[in-house]
């Protein structure tokens, strides 16, 4: 090859490489210039959906383009999460990133069709979401100790409904059964919107769901709330004790909720989204709405900090899967 041609090609490649950061920066400056899709990997009507819609409204105001919520439920959040993992890495398709799809679903499902570690880029952690264990009024248990006694007296007779396989409500029930030493059958639904009506109707005697989904039925006397799954009591339901207070010391399990995009999305775009989310998380009306649902709003955090948080969560949830004997599906 002619050396002058080689130098020309090398110079062109060097110039192109130098221009990449500039191009990425310009892409962020013009982003967004069309509607953005926020994929909720769970059914409509649950807390993840409600928080996503509140967040989408605020992001629309901040970004100047419509943020549209789409529900793609199924397989413990895998379907919607995989959809975003395989989407174009341009920041126009985001996903509500939760503990199941981002940490342990690969241990529970034979084929998730995506790898959260390599195909998704964390943007920001937004909230933590505790659950409530509640029973139908016909169940002869008024607190956790009496429920444990009932379950031990009649092992295998009772079942509990959750928002789906590998959701935090499923894991909350599995942790309860493990720590209490009881046998209880898990019945997964497609979100709290499915489990709550059956619990209220008496089709399932026990249900574990988000504070948001459960509180209204407890307030109306249709369900009896026995305990929250978080380390501390939840302000919006201050009279409901924690599992630890009820004789299960060390019990602490909450879902978490963040935003992720496809891996390869330009970092300036990821940073821009992160900055917007950080502003929203400090807005009094958003915080009030989230807290009214029993959520705990996270402090503003960077994409790297959210990524580190996810990495730290993986061993915790992996241990729970093994302890509870949850098998791959």
- pLDDT above 50 (res 323): yes
Q: CA geometry: angle at 91 spanning 85 and 92, to 5°?
A: 90
- pLDDT above 90 (res 242): yes
Note whether residue 242 is domain-resident: no
- Say yes or no: 215 and 262 in one domain: no
Note whether residue 160 is domain-resident: yes
- Say yes or no: 189 and 215 in one domain: yes
- Among 211, 228, 245, the domain boundary falls at 228
- Say yes or no: 138 and 123 in one domain: no
- Say yes or no: 277 and 297 in one domain: yes
- Say yes or no: 75 and 153 in one domain: no
CATH number of the domain that residue 53 is part of: 3.40.190.150
Alpha helices in the chain (DSSP H): 3-30, 47-63, 78-85, 99, 105-108, 116-119, 144-153, 168-180, 192-200, 211-219, 267-281, 284-292, 303-324
- Say yes or no: 116 and 195 in one domain: no
- Say yes or no: 154 and 185 in one domain: yes
pLDDT per position as a tens digit, 58-97:
999 999 999 999 999 988 889 999 999 999 999 999 999 9
- Say yes or no: 278 and 187 in one domain: no
CATH number of the domain that residue 145 is part of: 3.40.190.10
> At CB < 8 A and 24+ separation, what contacts does 311-315 make?
313/99, 313/102, 313/103, 313/256, 314/103, 314/104
- Say yes or no: 145 and 196 in one domain: yes
**What pLDDT is stored for residue 304 in this prediction?**
98
Note whether residue 301 is domain-resident: yes
Share of the chain above pLDDT 70, in %: 91
The count of domains in the chain is 2
Share of the chain above pLDDT 90, in %: 71
Note whether residue 48 is domain-resident: yes
Note whether residue 294 is domain-resident: yes
pLDDT per position as a tens digit, 149-198:
999 999 989 999 998 877 789 889 999 999 999 999 999 998 888 999 99
- pLDDT above 80 (res 24): no
Q: Number of H helices and number of E strands within the chain?
A: 13, 10
- Say yes or no: 123 and 189 in one domain: no
- Say yes or no: 119 and 262 in one domain: yes
Beta bridge partners of 258: 97, 125
- Say yes or no: 206 and 157 in one domain: yes
Segments forming the whole domain that contains residue 207: 130-228
159-162 and 93-98: which strand pairing?
unpaired
Note whether residue 73 is domain-resident: yes
Note whether residue 235 is domain-resident: no
Note whether residue 49 is domain-resident: yes
């Amino acid at each position: 090859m002619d050396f002058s041609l080689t130098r020309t090609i090398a110079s062109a490649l060097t110039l192109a490489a130098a221009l990449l950061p500039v191009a990425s920066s310009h892409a962020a400056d013009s982003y967004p210039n069309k509607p953005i899709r926020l994929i909720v990997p769970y059914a409509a009507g649950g807390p993840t959906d409600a928080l996503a819609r509140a967040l989408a409204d605020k992001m629309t105001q901040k970004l100047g383009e419509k943020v549209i919520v789409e529900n793609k439920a199924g397989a413990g959040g895998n379907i919607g999460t995989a959809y975003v993992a395989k989407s174009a890495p341009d920041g126009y398709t985001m996903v509500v990133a939760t503990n199941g799809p981002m940490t342990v679903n690969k241990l529970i499902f034979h084929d998730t069709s995506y790898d959260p570690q390599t195909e998704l880029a964390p943007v920001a952690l937004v909230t933590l979401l505790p659950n409530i264990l509640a029973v139908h009024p016909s169940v002869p248990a008024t607190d956790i100790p009496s429920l444990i006694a009932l379950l031990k007296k009649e092992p295998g007779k009772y079942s509990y409904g959750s928002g789906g396989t590998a959701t935090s409500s499923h894991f909350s029930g599995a942790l309860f059964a493990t720590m209490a030493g009881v046998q209880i059958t898990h019945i997964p639904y497609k979100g709290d919107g499915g489990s709550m009506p059956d619990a209220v109707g008496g089709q399932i005697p026990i249900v574990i769901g988000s504070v948001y989904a459960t509180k209204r039925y407890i307030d109306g006397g249709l369900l009896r709330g026995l305990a929250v799954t978080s380390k501390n009591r939840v302000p919006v339901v201050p009279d409901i004790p924690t599992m630890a207070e009820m004789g299960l010391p060390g019990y602490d399990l909450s879902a978490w909720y963040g935003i992720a995009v496809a891996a390869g999305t330009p970092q300036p775009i990821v940073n821009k989204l992160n900055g917007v989310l950080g502003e929203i998380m400090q807005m009094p009306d958003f915080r009030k709405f989230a807290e009214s649902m029993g959520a705990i709003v996270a402090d503003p955090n960077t994409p790297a900090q959210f990524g580190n948080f996810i990495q730290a969560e993986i061993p915790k949830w992996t241990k729970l899967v093994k302890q509870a004997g949850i098998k791959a599906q």
